[in-house]
């Protein structure tokens, strides 16, 4: 099946620094990638939808200047947490969707997630 990777799997940083998380579709081209955030024992919350070559669409309440998303190619999207603070500590998960011809396939393939801890 389709594989999505994330790097790094775990990162610890100091408050005020920026952290970049990569999401790659390894064996398929993803026109759309999604970024989610998951708090402990809670659901995944969609942060933004990223389309290759265009600006990301952010969900209500998500600061686009804080969570910078770049989808430069059909296999790579990046999420940069700028000026990170302890409240940004969370589990960040990306997914990629395969677009098949005219009809969108709804299946999203998920990465394993990146755990961010801001000290």
Partner 1 sequence: GDSVTQMEGPVTLSEEAFLTINCTYTATGYPSLFWYVQYPGEGLQLLLKATKADDKGSNKGFEATYRKETTSFHLEKGSVQVSDSAVYFCALSDPGAGGYNKLIFGAGTRLAVHP
Q: Which residues bind partner 1 (CB under 8 A)?
A: 1, 4, 6, 32, 34, 41-46, 49, 51, 57, 93, 95, 104, 106-113
Rounded to whole angstroms, the Cα distance separating 41 from 65 reads 27
- Nearest CB to partner 1, comparing residues 17 and 42: 42
- Nearest CB to partner 1, comparing residues 25 and 78: 25
Q: How far is the CB of 16 from partner 1 (least distance, A)?
A: 30
- Nearest CB to partner 1, comparing residues 32 and 89: 32
Strands of the chain, DSSP E: 4-7, 10-13, 19-25, 32-38, 44-51, 57-58, 67-73, 76-81, 90-100, 103-110, 114-118
């Amino acid at each position: 099946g389709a594989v999505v990777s994330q790097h790094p799997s775990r990162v610890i940083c100091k408050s005020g620094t920026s952290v970049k998380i990569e999401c790659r579709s390894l064996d398929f081209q993803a026109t759309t990638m999604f970024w989610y955030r998951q708090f402990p024992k809670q659901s995944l919350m969609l942060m933004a939808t990223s389309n290759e070559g265009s600006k990301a669409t952010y969900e209500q309440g998500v600061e686009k200047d804080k969570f910078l998303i770049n989808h430069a190619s059909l296999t790579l999207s990046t999420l940069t947490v700028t000026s990170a603070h302890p409240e940004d500590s969370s589990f960040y998960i990306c997914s990629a969707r395969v677009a098949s011809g005219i009809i969108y396939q709804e299946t999203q393939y998920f990465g394993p997630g990146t755990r961010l801890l801001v000290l």
